Amino acid sequence: MTEANFLANAQMSVFSFGRAPVSIEILKEISGITFDEVYSHAIDANFESIPLKIINLKDLRTNKKASGRAKDINDLENLPD
């Protein structure tokens, strides 16, 4: 993975690293909400002393509803209140 490949490759919107169940996906965009909106509401967290931002539950719900995929609708039905 290079910075140029990540930023300039218009055909790739999701980059996956690792193998399920131990994998991570980096999405360049999501449905229903902008990056700026998600970032402004993100939850600050640390994982093994690494700072990171996590999408908040309200924004995740907005995204899941907007995508309309069966997998996301199922996720939406099973998210906590």
The ranges assigned to domains in the chain are 1-30, 34-69
pLDDT at residue number 58: 96
pLDDT digits (tens, 9 = 90+) for 9-28: 888 788 888 998 899 888 88
pLDDT band at 1 (very low <50, low <70, confident <90, very high): confident
Mean pLDDT score, 28-43: 93
The verdict on pTM exceeding 0.85 is: no
Measured CA to CA, the distance from residue 54 to residue 51 in angstroms comes to 10
The residue type found at 45 is: A
The answer on pLDDT for 48 being more than 90 is yes
- Percent of the chain, pLDDT > 70? 100
Q: Looking at 1-81, which runs of residues are DSSP E strands?
A: 14-19, 22-27, 43-47, 50-54
Measured CA to CA, the distance from residue 44 to residue 5 in angstroms comes to 27
